[in-house]
Structure 1
Amino acid sequence: MHSNRDRNEVAGAADVVATAIDILSRPVQGTHRAINDLVFGVLGRSAAPVRILNEGIADLVYEAVRGGGVAAAEAVTAVSRLLPEDRVSHAVTSTAAGSVVVGAVNGLLGDRLAAEGNDLTVELGPHHERRIVGNDTAMLTTAYPKATGHVAVLVHGLGETEQAWYYRHDGRGSYGEALAAHGISAVSLRYNTGAGIEDNGAALAGLLDELIAVWPVPVERIDLVGHSMGGLVVRRACAVEASRATWLPLVRTACYLGTPHEGAPLATGVYHLSRALRKVRQTVVWADLLDVRSRGVDDLRLATDVALAPGIRHVAVAATLAADDTAWWADAVGDGLVTLRSARGPMTELHTLVGTGHLALLSDPRVLDVLTELMSDATPAEVDDATEPAV
């Protein structure tokens, strides 16, 4: 059902809905059958004809629901191909809400969408006004009319898009807007968080190599900021580039906001729950549902095994919902998604924010203070002094 046009987000959305109907209907159908097993098992062989009729009708209904989803998607796709290209190319991501939904869908199914060629698959690159900016000097000049040689690259987390950096709280602007006042050009990337972290790291390394070659002015310095999964992608990108040394020598600092260096408890919990559900025949279908998760989600349960790139000042910003980070439960609860221990990882320089949740790290003024100080004050000599060997 994938369109041959350059981009058709209407068709892509229709495919996603049909896929969701298929995925969600199967565990419901399996549960229905498991209940039948229990009820008719008690009633015995005398109820076998009723059971056959019940299950036959139920199976037809579920197949009709799934078939209806596919037929509807095909109809929507056919109609969308008759519409002007500018009405379908960014029909979903042109709105703030649609862009957020696409980020979430890619987090859950991004690797699958990419394999199927779905037009809602997120494209890696700098995004401006919810559209990708190509690696072209003219386009970058238009998107960044006040570009400077000091570039801060912002890499969002799982299920997010570059819009995550623009969430407003109490009327405050984004980190990028604040950094611009210090002569720093903030480039907010969007990437497919459902793809593997290693793959995204390699893709980011390649993108930065291309970006500095076409940036409107010569790039003199790069600072990297990653939120949650984005920090792991940054670490991977630096590891990829360590042997090639292209853009890496320009990097002065790497700041990790709520990054699960030692794995994320929620991802680990989902993995173990899936394994447990597979041990009981009646709940295998729910394990199948949990296992639909993307490779990116699954990667979050594992500790990152790459060393910190040398010559860079690596700084972790961790958060805890507790009002006191020395409280006995502060580490375990962390920011609600990442523990303090995991957020610190191998970093020797750590800032801990209390009374703060995972998403609040995207707009907390204390985080901005850390970023501003790092990017404004860290000269190459200071970076060398502050850099510690990876542990």
Structure 2
Amino acid sequence: MSVKQMNEKILVLTSDFPPTSGGIQTIISETFRRFENKNIIIIAPAHPHSQEFDKLYPIPILRCKFLKPFTFFPFTLTHIFKKSFMFTFFGILPLIRIIKSYKCSFLICGHIAVSPLALLVRRLFGLPYLTFVYAMEILCLPKECIRRKVLQILFQNSTKVITISKFSIDEIRKFGVAKGNIIKIPLGYPCFPESEENLGEGGKIEDGEFKILTVGRLVERKGHDKVLEALSLLRKKRYKIKYVIVGEGPMKQNLLTLCKKFGVEKQVEFIGNVTYSQTPFYYKMCDLFIMPSRYIKAKKDVEGFGLVYLEANFFGKPVIAGRSGGVPDAVIEGVTGFLVDPENPKEIANAIIKLFENPDLAKKMGEQGRRRVMEEFTWERAARIIEENLMAVSKGNKGCTMYDDTKRVNMG
């Protein structure tokens, strides 16, 4: 039986879905858009501007008020459990009506926060569920912590756990999940819409400058502060470098203060938020993408993968990334970019110098990155892997089809 011949109806329950933006929203929407089995219904949060998106999306979407977009800021496990309780309390009756109406065979949770609702449905109807897990939401808790025990119950009752990196696999296994029950999927390269939108003034970016770029929320883990410190170390060399920062966030004022402290105000341009269709302009404009993400243990804040590294590679740009979390899955050291100690400004500065002084190396890394993204990271592959596992479960097989990134594409 092929994937297309599967008759089982799949219900996708997610607290994160467009038109709100974010990594999880992209993963869920782009993966299920490419399912060959079109017997899918997506249950997503109500949104005042969802009508246009829903009209163009190839799969039916039910917008429900009991779901609310999940935010990691501020991120705490208490926040997740409060959300989970709210989803379960207000969502169980509407979800039961939907399941009975559509006669669904599988339930897929786009976030661990909706898994308690799926567990309750499994207890009532025996409906198997799969759960997406990223990284931040499951970082290790003390063994005696009751929240950890709740997560263990959710994982043990989940037919399969879907994740995106070796780092997150290691974290999931700490909850007693067998490796054979974990599905690792590749993320896909970006699908930016073609647009003639006004790109804004573009700041004081000048031709002839070596332009480095960071795209991301201005939060501590992204490492903007360490890039600023690295730039201060390069001032004596009088390199003509411009650092362009796209995004907004709670760290902005602190970063502005650091610019003055390090004497790099004239080298740094804060662009602010841009639309998704405007983002390609900045990737094309830059010579190097940099985001030395780090693990902030006190806040349980870490990069589960880092889609922006793939986006930069997609546009043929080399990257400098922090050696932390799931980032090593996104960047091949010395091939598509450099992995650095995210707490070491000197190491970051040396990586910038190496690419600044070796344009041929920078070009080669960018080309290799683009080739890898185009061949290895597609949403179609992610969709097929999940569908193959669903088909195996429907046949009663316990095996697990998994994305294997040990076979690297030829970079020659």
Shorter-chain TM range is 0.3 to 0.5
Q: Give the number of the structure whose residues are more often helix, by fraction.
A: 1
Report the TM-score when normalising by structure 1: 0.32
